[in-house]
């Protein structure tokens, strides 16, 4: 099937929901891989600010909802937070749409291992991406990717700065690559250390307009979506332990350590 390229200038600025797959593979010291079905949101945050949330339950109780406080500094306006973050990093020219790829709350519960903010220039270029990472210890760190070569399908790097898994040290580099067409999106992250490639993970999905019917279908198909994220993290950790993969103690939270040395990251509130 031919994929229609994504054009940020022509794309309908509407909330979307995707059904897709989370994939993970560890190369060493023991090979370990899994893939799970998933669902996630893709939200045009500036359009939502202008026109309202439509069928999306925003900042209110619902079986499936989105809450601004689940992002950034925990404030009431996640868009304002990411705009301030970009400004603090000297990232200008983000005068187009800002799309947020994230997991919803389901029945009031949420855990978001990683969310991606795709920040566009007015001419449609992908100007920057913010990878907002949360770990199971209640800590959050953001990697601000504003490489001059950044574009859909182009790989960009950032130094690993926060503890995510007890089976990985806080060292090495992440390699990020993002791809989007009119009806599909893929985010891929690889981790390399001094010995070479260690991990690869991706989340991908088929995009459809977020409607009340689509929300109901998602809840029927994945009623434990976000609770399942945490349960699967612990199940995979047990499997790695049984494979005798080395365990590393959690280091102190990095706080002000940034994603790359030219742009120190202001402290992001941990929860």
**3-state class of 260 per DSSP?**
strand
Query: What DSSP assignment string belongs to 140-194?
Result: EEEEEE--TT--TT--EEEE--S---TTS-S-SEEEEEEEEBSSEEEEEEEEEET
pLDDT in tens, 22-53: 999 999 999 999 999 999 999 999 999 999 99
How far apart, in Å, do the first and last CA atoms of the chain sit? 43
Q: Is the pLDDT of residue 261 over 50?
A: no
When computed from its CA atoms, the radius of gyration of the chain, rounded to whole angstroms, is 18
CB 176 within 8 A of CB 158: yes
Around 24, how many Cα atoms within 13 Å sit in the side-chain half-sphere?
14
The domain segmentation of the chain, as residue ranges, is: 16-242
pTM of the shown model: 0.91
**3-state class of 50 per DSSP?**
helix
- How far apart CA 148 and CA 98 sit, in angstroms, is 18
CA distances from 240 to 18, 167, 192 (A): 29, 8, 19
Structure tokens at 202: 């991706």
pLDDT in tens, 93-150: 999 999 999 999 999 999 999 999 999 999 999 999 999 999 988 899 999 999 989 9
Give the DSSP H or E segment for 231.
helix 225-242
> What's the whole-number average pLDDT of the chain?
90
pLDDT in tens, 199-225: 999 999 999 999 999 999 999 999 999
| pLDDT given at position 141 | 94
Over residues 233-258, mean pLDDT: 81
């Amino acid at each position: 099937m031919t994929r229609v390229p994504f054009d940020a200038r022509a794309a309908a600025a509407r909330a979307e929901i995707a059904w897709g797959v989370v994939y993970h593979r560890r190369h060493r010291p023991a090979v370990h891989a899994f893939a799970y079905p998933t669902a996630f949101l893709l939200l045009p945050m500036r359009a939502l600010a202008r026109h309202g949330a439509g069928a999306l339950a925003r900042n209110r109780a619902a079986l499936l909802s989105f809450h601004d406080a689940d992002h950034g500094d925990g404030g009431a306006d996640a868009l304002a937070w990411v705009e301030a973050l970009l400004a603090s990093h000297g990232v200008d020219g983000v005068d187009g749409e800002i799309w947020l790829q994230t997991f919803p709350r389901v029945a009031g519960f949420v855990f978001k291992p990683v969310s991606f903010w795709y920040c566009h220039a007015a001419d449609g270029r992908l100007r920057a991406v913010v990878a907002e990472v949360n770990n199971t210890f209640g800590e959050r760190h953001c990697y601000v990717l504003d490489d001059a070569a950044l574009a859909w399908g182009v790989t960009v790097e950032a130094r690993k700065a926060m503890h995510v898994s007890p089976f990985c040290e806080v060292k090495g580099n992440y390699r990020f690559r993002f791809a989007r067409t009119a009806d599909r999106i893929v985010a891929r992250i690889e981790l390399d250390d001094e010995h070479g490639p260690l991990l690869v993970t991706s989340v991908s999905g088929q995009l459809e307009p977020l409607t009340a019917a689509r929300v109901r279908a998602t809840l029927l198909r994945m009623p434990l979506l976000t609770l399942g994220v945490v349960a699967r993290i612990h199940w995979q950790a047990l499997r790695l332990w049984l494979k005798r993969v080395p365990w590393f103690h959690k280091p102190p939270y990095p706080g002000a350590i940034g994603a790359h040395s030219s742009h120190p990251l202001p402290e992001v509130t941990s929860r």
